[in-house]
Amino acid sequence: MNSDNRLRRRGWFCLGLVFAVLAIFSATFFKIQIVDGEEYVKAGEQIKVKTVTVEGARGEILDRNGNPLVTNRQGNAIVFDSAFFPSAKEQGERNAIIYSLISLFEQQGVAWNDELPITLGKDGKTLSFAADREKDIDVLRTEILELNPYATVQNCMDALIENYELERFPPELARKVASVCYGMRAADFGAANLYTFADDVPNDMVSRIKENSNFYRGVDVEIVSYREYTDGALLPHILGRVGVISAEEYEKSQEEKSGYRMNSVIGKEGIESAMESYLRGTVGEKRIVTDSEGNVTTDYAVEPTQGDTVVLTIEKNLQKVAKNALSAGLEALREDSLVDPAGAIIIEDVNNGEILASFSYPSYDITTFAENYAALAKDTRAPLWNRALKSTYSPGSTMKPCTAIAALEEGVITTGTYFRCTRSHTYLDHDFQCLQPHTHLTMNVVSAINESCNIFFYNVAERMNIETINEYAGIMGLGSKTGVELSEAAGILDSPEYRASIKQTWQPGFTLQNAIGNGGSMFTPIQLVNYCATIANGGTRYRPHFVKSVKSYNYSETVLDNSSQIILRTGLKSSTLSTVREGMALVGSIGYCSKAFKELPVKAAAKTGTSQVDRKINGYTVTTNNGFLITYAPADNPQISICIAAEGAGSGSSLAPIAAKVYDYYFNEMNNLEQPQKENTLLK
């Protein structure tokens, strides 16, 4: 009995379980078919959903008053979309589309992106690797083509022709089609990455491609942002440029997990590079849905946003005046120079370290950089080089105020110390000369700065050592990087240790030569202008800087307030600095700069300098002069300092007219100009 009851209960349980499963299945089926039926039908019709990364527009760059320097404009990019472009298995169809596009673009004189690091000679046969593309060549050999690291250019070209089925094309066309195939592979072309065939394409070209969309399957147009410069020649070395991320940069970004794609645009130089993390827009995600009938709809899962706005310390109009004054001034010196005119000017606010203007000559135009790069790179005058921050020079007599500061601070001399100039000074059986055209007779430190008397400073240096001179040069920031945002040279402080590092023996007379700025010490113009500012403001050394602030793209908040930063309060005695400033004021009022400065609305102080340098000209070694000028104004209440460096200039005093044009504009015109505002917010 008990056994029968157990069997009966098991039977009822199994039957109930079957009914429960059927009930659940029926309810689920009802929900799918009736309740959610329409949604599932639509889902069934959707054959493809993909998400692509969309870069946000880069932030703008403004001058200190809100004047735009770098903005964005929209343009057309021709891209390949892997969802519709022939697959790698359909290489013949790929080649046909690529070849047709290249022909179309070249017929219309429109550039396309040719990035293959292999060039073809004018004879249409000779192959060579592109110059300065070592990293890309390595990637081509080992990663793209999987060849040996030492594969020749012909090996690479043969592999490209075989891999991409280009045997039927003549060499020139094979190389062009291969370039696009290489670019697609290098950009990791696929569902997550479009390939950009051409940038900034005219609307009529877009129309022609769209009209033949059945043939150009997978070739699409994307509206993208391009950098726009209000004046590409105004300050190219400071603004810098952007470009497609290189293989090396991409590899580094992967390590840092910074989210760059193979075709991302990145800052390459200047502010564009230094402020990349702020200027770069926020990446968004676009969802692309294709239904069974081929209809495509898009929406943003995450909206991209524009990068932050970088406000520079540069004053746009002052920059223009400085640029024109330097360019014209250096060209005016051409007839008296054995070398092509070259140099730099840099202007600093002495009370906070803000760089108000900076220009290096010769220069270039950012807007035409790409098409002119080959010529610019080969130009022996080095127009791409930023002389204001990267060139180091023996400073000539602009070193004498520093030597005077060291001597006064150490008690080696006082204002009552006099030395007689006999135009020659004998030290350890070696004669050191005063190169000025007239005898200075007896003078103290103030008149020695004004007259730039070598003999006075030889006597001073004989009573010190190089360590003491270098200690005060270091206090003034000479011979070391200033900390500015952009790439800069460190310079050199001459010393026994430095001479040993270049396998030279230190000679006692080197101390005397360095005291007048003609030894082995080498400084940059930005170091010299900051040194001058430190003297002018009473002994506070600020960090020079080009970035004033960073605003959010809509100016609603300040992301970065880059206020003045004190590097060092030097602690120099006020009497020391007053004495040096008195001598520099005489240079501006009765000395070598007085003629150029006499009509200015304010009195300016200055120190000129000249140093000799040996150059190779037409195969011969020729000794020429570099000229320097450090100056500040007003002499009694300093606001700005200026440094001008000129290669091949006869003397530093020849540069005074350049500084005079800057002062005339700054104190006569600039402060009377009405400046624009953004969003009713001062860009402070």
Using CA atoms, how far apart are residues 605 and 583, in angstroms rounded to an integer? Answer: 8
Of 315, 311, 289, 312, the closest CA to residue 300 belongs to: 289
Using CA atoms, how far apart are residues 23 and 31, in angstroms rounded to an integer? Answer: 12
Of 467, 465, 541, the closest CA to residue 509 belongs to: 465
Residue 43 confidence (pLDDT): 54
**In DSSP terms, which residues pair with 646 in a beta bridge?**
343, 627
Nearest-5° Cα angle at 150, 144 to 151: 55
Let me know: does 403 contact 469? Beta carbons within 8 Å: yes
Q: Which residues contact 230 (CB under 8 A, 6 or more apart)?
A: 67, 68, 69, 70, 71
Q: What is the pTM of this model?
A: 0.84
Q: What is the CATH number of domain 316-672?
A: 3.40.710.10
Whether domain 46-83+191-312 has CATH 3.40.50.300: no
The two three-digit tokens of residue 491, written as one number: 């310079």
Residue 624 confidence (pLDDT): 86
- What is the domain partition of the chain in residue ranges? 46-83+191-312, 88-108+116-188, 316-672
> What is the DSSP track for 382-400?
-TTS-HHHH--B--GGGGH
Of 659, 641, 683, 646, the closest CA to residue 555 belongs to: 683
Using CA atoms, how far apart are residues 550 and 559, in angstroms rounded to an integer? Answer: 5
Distances (CA, A) of 624 to 380, 387, 621: 17, 18, 10
Using CA atoms, how far apart are residues 415 and 408, in angstroms rounded to an integer? Answer: 8
pLDDT along the chain (684 residues), means of 10: 59 63 64 60 57 80 96 90 90 95 94 92 88 87 92 95 94 94 88 86 90 90 89 97 83 78 86 96 74 66 87 98 97 84 97 98 94 90 97 97 98 95 69 63 93 92 95 98 97 96 93 94 98 98 98 93 94 98 98 96 96 82 90 97 93 94 93 50 47
Of 145, 137, 151, the closest CA to residue 164 belongs to: 145
Using CA atoms, how far apart are residues 547 and 314, in angstroms rounded to an integer? Answer: 8
Let me know: does 276 contact 486? Beta carbons within 8 Å: no
In single-letter form, the type of residue at position 557 comes to E
Let me know: does 105 contact 78? Beta carbons within 8 Å: no
Residue 495 confidence (pLDDT): 96
The two three-digit tokens of residue 135, written as one number: 């990293």
Which residue, chain included where needed, has tokens 């080095």? Answer: 382
